[in-house]
Amino acid sequence: MEKIFVPDTSVIIDGRVTQLIKAGELAGAKIILPNAVIAELEHQANVGRETGGAGLSEITELVELSKQGKIALEYAGPRPEPGQARMAKRTGDIDAIIRAVAKEHSAVLITSDKVQSQVAQAEGIEAMYFEPKTWEFSLKFKSYFTPQTLSVHLKEGCVPLAKIGAPGRIELREIGKEKLTPEDVQEMAKEIIEVAKRGSATEAFIEIERKGATVVQLREFRCAIARPPFSDGLEITIVHPILKVSLEDYPLSKKLKDRLSGRAEGVIVCGPPGAGKSTFTAALAEFYLAKKKIVKTMESPRDLQVVDEITQYAPLDGSFENTSDILLLVRPDYTIYDEMRKTSDFRIYSDMRLAGIGMVGVVHANRPIDAIHRFVGRVDLGVIPQIVDTIVFIKDGAVQKVYQLEFRVKVPFGMREQDLARPVIEVKDFETGGVEYEIYKFGEETVILPVSAGRRLENRIDEARLHDIVGRAVRTDFDLEVLDGNKAILFLSARDIPKVIGKRGKTIQALEHRTGYTFDVREKE
């Protein structure tokens, strides 16, 4: 009796059926392709998913094999109702139609979906299940990489480009002489998607798939594929880490190492793109692991190069908020939150930190203080020192600056009157202890003030009130000329000068102490 096989969507996408035919395991067999499979792949291709295109290419190859007489190919079963293809993963309706086709024709169901295989066996359908296998890493784009290549940029109609070097010494170079054709780039994109679908979930997976954009993680390679209408042409960007280091490879002071291993539980690692933030963060994660701490990561895509003992979490059901709910139950000692960009990312970081979990957030910033700017307006000002205690700025692959945050009630720098005291966040250089910035509320606005600029602000703020303060103190006609360097000339009538200066100068000294200005008292002409 002729053996009949019915493949489901999973094995069509991962190319397993054509592999079996070419290997001789299904040579001469009759293959019935459910119309539901074609409908699901058509829907995926229409919404711009690379998996749809890969699956339709596999069907085209099956048709060619049928024409060559290597298999007998037929189509059977109903097309799904409108909406069933869109909800295929959630409802299982497409899988049910495929199983019904296999049962009707007494066929063997071929699948790489474990649930589909188990349900088929429960329904009395013979199933051939294939575990995801480890893929052979022989992708075409690998030929563009050298040990010093940070990223490769491939676009139709353009010469291939690569960033080569190390952080701080990166050069963009042409790595080909001829412009890539659309077919060249499409072939490499298809190859990446096929490997991602065929590979094991720990080595290759699709991180993001939206209309016009797909992000795939292939071991240490992060591949971003962009298509029209999202981009103006087909483009592939592949990023590859060139270094894996430990925290010992960074020239950190003992004081900083002690802080990272002890008191620092709200760490922000910041720096410009390509500065080496991910490399440092991965080293820090393994540093915590070596200290006998449970470490997890939250990433999208999951591209941190860490050891297997550190579990890497993606957005659960498309949301890091759901991921954080699970992590609050898991209760790790430290969580690495890679690439904080949106407001929701900063709020999730805050919630987890306030729940008692040590957090390390990664933020893009050109200056270390810009990392604090990202929190202002997204988190209550008084909460910031409770969730962020250490800022590590990475540039050119090295730790360039470290800040610590402290919360005090004081008169902000540049103000003199005691009734202006308010809660102030002091941003201090960690190594020297010197205050470099103060953050506080001034009216309705949040001020982030460089302390070195405080004297200039003092003139702007105090001068506006200086005439009023002096007028209430002298209680007579006067003229005031404000000079640079917190100096002022006070012009008074001859008879008022002794009264304003006071006995042994006590009155004028009190005014100087109150305002922060030094007064030169002169006779008014």
CA–CA distance, 92 with 87 (Å, rounded to integer): 8
Burial 162-172 (b: 16+ CB within 10 A, else e): bbbeebeebee
Q: What is the mean pLDDT of the chain?
A: 87
| pLDDT over 70 (residue 86) | no
| Mean pLDDT in residue range 379-402 | 92
pLDDT at residue 281 greater than cutoff 90 = yes
**Residue 13: its pLDDT value, please?**
84
Quote the percentage of the chain above a pLDDT of 70: 92
DSSP-derived 3-state class of residue 83 = coil
Mean pLDDT, residues 383-404:
93
Element (H, E) at 506: helix 506-515
Q: Is residue 161 pLDDT above 70, yes or no?
A: yes
Which value, in Å, is the radius of gyration of the alpha carbons in the chain? 33
Alpha helices in 109-249 (DSSP H): 114-122, 182-198
Q: Under a CB-based contact definition with an 8 Å cutoff, are residues 171 and 161 in contact?
A: no
Q: Report residue 16's pLDDT band, with 50, 70 and 90 as the boundaries.
A: confident
Residue 371: the pLDDT is 93
Fold of the domain built from segment(s) 247-453:
Rossmann fold (3.40.50)
- Write the DSSP string, 310-371: SEEEPPBTTBHHHHHHHHHHH--SEEEE----SHHHHHHHHHHHHTT-EEEEEEE-SSHHHH
pLDDT of residue 62: 92
Q: Is the pLDDT of residue 88 over 70?
A: no
Q: Is the pLDDT of residue 85 over 80?
A: no
pLDDT of 5 > 70? The answer is yes
Q: Quick: pLDDT tens for 296-350.
A: 999 988 888 899 899 999 999 889 999 999 999 999 999 999 989 999 999 999 9
pLDDT at 486: 72
Return the CATH number of the domain spanning residue range 140-239: 3.30.450.90
Q: pLDDT at residue 456 above 50?
A: no
Backbone angles phi, psi at 460, to 5 degrees: -70, -40
At 461, the pLDDT band (50, 70, 90 cuts) reads very low
**Cα–Cα dist 129/131, whole Å:** 7
165 compared with 281, residue with greater pLDDT: 281
Domain coordinates of the chain in residue numbers? 4-129, 140-239, 247-453, 463-523
**CA distance from start to end of the chain:** 123
- The larger pLDDT score, comparing residue 484 to residue 21, is at 21
Which residue, among 475, 403, 413, has the nearest Cα to 433 in the 3D structure?
Answer: 403
Q: What pLDDT is stored for residue 175 in this prediction?
A: 93
CA dihedral 305, 310, 315, 317 (to 10 degrees): 130
Give the per-residue pLDDT at 46: 83
Does 247-453 match 4-129 at the fold level? yes
Q: What 3-state DSSP class applies to 49?
A: coil
pLDDT > 50? residue 460 = no
pLDDT digits (tens, 9 = 90+) for 415-428: 766 777 899 999 99
pLDDT at 297: 96
Q: Is the pTM of this model over 0.85?
A: no
* Average pLDDT rounded to a whole number, residues 24-40: 90
CATH class of 463-523: alpha beta
The more confident residue out of 13 and 123 is 123
3-state helix, strand, coil in the chain (%, to 5): 40, 30, 35
Q: Rounded to an integer, what distance in angstroms lies between the CA atom of residue 166 and that of residue 153?
A: 17
What's residue 455's pLDDT?
46
Confidence of residue 364 (pLDDT cuts 50, 70, 90): very high
Averaged pLDDT for residues 169-181: 91
Angle at 278 between CA 273 and CA 284, to 5 degrees: 140
More confident residue, 391 or 476: 391
CATH architecture of 4-129: 3-Layer(aba) Sandwich (3.40)
What is the tens place of the pLDDT at every residue in 199-219? 665 677 888 888 889 999 888
pLDDT digits (tens, 9 = 90+) for 34-62: 999 999 898 888 877 777 887 888 899 99
pLDDT at 163 over 70: yes
H or E element at residue 9: helix 9-13
| Per-residue pLDDT at 214 | 92
Main-chain dihedrals φ then ψ at residue 206, nearest 5 degrees: -90, 120
- Give the model's confidence band at 91: pLDDT under 50 very low, under 70 low, under 90 confident, else very high: low
Strand runs labelled E in 60-190: 72-76, 108-111, 127-129, 149-155, 161-164, 171-174
What is the token pair recorded at 28? 């001469």
Query: What pLDDT is stored for residue 452 in this prediction?
Result: 62
**Given this model, what pLDDT does residue 106 score?**
92
Is 79 buried (19+), middle (13-18) or exposed (0-12) by CB count in 10 A?
A: middle
| pLDDT tens column, 106-153 | 999 999 888 999 999 999 999 999 875 555 556 889 889 998 898 999
